[in-house]
């Protein structure tokens, strides 16, 4: 067996890393052909790896076997207090020929990160069972899901008991209330991830300003004449968590969905999701993408049941706890 040679990543390693990333993406698309084929080209993959390497404070490790680069790992911090003192290994930030070797690369790269005080580590990993297992054995746990499905070939019929329609300006007060309902729910157990909540008036003001956005479509669900939920469909380019390898071509995005707490269990969430799927097909998209916190018991069950297949796993580790 060839001896593993692991050293800090250097600029000269970029072309070899791009080849590995293109190989990984090619294998990933065998499971999820709706992902963009562009990144199977090493030159396109090189753009993604270079962007990470040129990020502020980026660092990582490269692995060589018998003189050939067979793995790399690159991470960089995000300048946001939301994520803590962090390092992110994005979708283009790692590729290995042998999944087990991601553990060796992380072991080398994390020395610098922790020495700098960056103890919150995040990584975006394709749904490769062996690769995920290797990350899990580095004490990472699943935090967030990225998922995709094709648009429906024929319109999904309306559900009985719930009326779904396009939102109108008169709905803005309840749309603002629903904007707060989702983060409030995510602040509860077992998610514990509310973030910073705007005031109701701030949410109303934002809706007043953005309501006529031509790229997006907002739907509301009614039960007994009362609005109980809402969902928004838009272009995938509007989804800040979906970029590069995780951003399919010509895709719609189920960017938001919420149901008032007292109305959950009536089927409104599913009906709203189906409305966004139908709208995406009518708009001419080929697929629809969404994402969710895996600790959100409602969304982590609702969206797979609607047909979304997970493509990437965001994993998280907090050092020292």
Domains of the chain (ranges; CATH) run 4-138 (3.40.630.30), 150-309 (3.40.630.30)
Range 12-40 average pLDDT? 98
Residue 28 clears pLDDT 90, i.e. is over it: yes
Residue 253 clears pLDDT 90, i.e. is over it: yes
Residue 72 clears pLDDT 80, i.e. is over it: yes
The reported pLDDT for the residue numbered 321 is 63
pLDDT tens-digit readout, 270-300: 999 999 999 999 999 999 999 999 999 999 9
How confident is residue 195, by pLDDT bands cut at 50, 70 and 90? confident
Residue 233 clears pLDDT 90, i.e. is over it: yes
Range 204-209 average pLDDT? 96
The reported pLDDT for the residue numbered 2 is 54
How confident is residue 320, by pLDDT bands cut at 50, 70 and 90? confident
196 sits in the region (left: phi over 0; alpha: psi -120 to 50; else beta) called: beta
Greater model confidence, 1 or 93 = 93
How confident is residue 1, by pLDDT bands cut at 50, 70 and 90? very low
pLDDT tens-digit readout, 139-171: 999 999 999 999 999 999 998 889 999 999 999
Compute CA distances 232 → 11, 90, 100, 199, 255, whole Å: 41, 26, 40, 20, 6
């Amino acid at each position: 067996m060839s001896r593993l040679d692991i050293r800090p990543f250097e600029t000269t390693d970029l072309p070899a890393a791009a080849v590995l990333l293109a190989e990984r993406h090619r294998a990933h698309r065998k499971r999820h052909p709706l992902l963009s084929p562009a990144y199977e080209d090493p030159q396109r993959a090189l753009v993604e790896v270079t962007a990470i390497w040129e990020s502020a404070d980026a660092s990582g490790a490269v692995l060589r076997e018998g003189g050939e680069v067979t793995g790399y790992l690159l991470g960089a911090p995000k300048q946001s207090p939301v994520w803590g003192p962090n390092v992110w290994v994005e979708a283009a930030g790692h590729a290995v020929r042998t999944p087990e070797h991601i553990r060796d690369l992380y072991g080398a790269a994390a020395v610098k990160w922790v020495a700098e005080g960056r103890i919150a580590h995040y990584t975006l990993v394709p749904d490769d069972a062996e690769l995920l297992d290797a990350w899990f054995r580095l004490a990472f746990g699943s935090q967030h899901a990225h998922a995709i499905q094709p648009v429906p070939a024929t319109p999904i019929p309306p559900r009985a008991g719930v009326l779904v329609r396009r939102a109108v300006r008169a709905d803005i007060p309840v749309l603002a209330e629903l904007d707060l309902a989702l983060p409030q729910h995510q602040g509860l157990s077992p998610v514990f991830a509310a973030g910073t909540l705007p005031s109701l008036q701030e949410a109303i003001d934002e809706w007043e300003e953005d309501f006529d956005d031509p790229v997006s479509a907002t739907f509301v669900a009614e039960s007994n004449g009362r609005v109980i939920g809402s969902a928004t469909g838009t272009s995938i380019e509007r989804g800040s968590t979906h970029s590069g390898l995780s951003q399919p071509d010509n895709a719609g995005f189920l960017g938001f969905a919420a149901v008032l707490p007292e109305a959950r269990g009536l089927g409104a969430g599913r009906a709203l999701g189906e409305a966004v799927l139908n709208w995406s097909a009518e708009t001419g998209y080929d697929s629809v993408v969404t994402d969710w916190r895996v600790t959100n018991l409602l969304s982590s069950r609702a969206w797979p049941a609607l047909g979304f297949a997970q493509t990437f796993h965001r994993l998280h580790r907090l050092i020292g706890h």
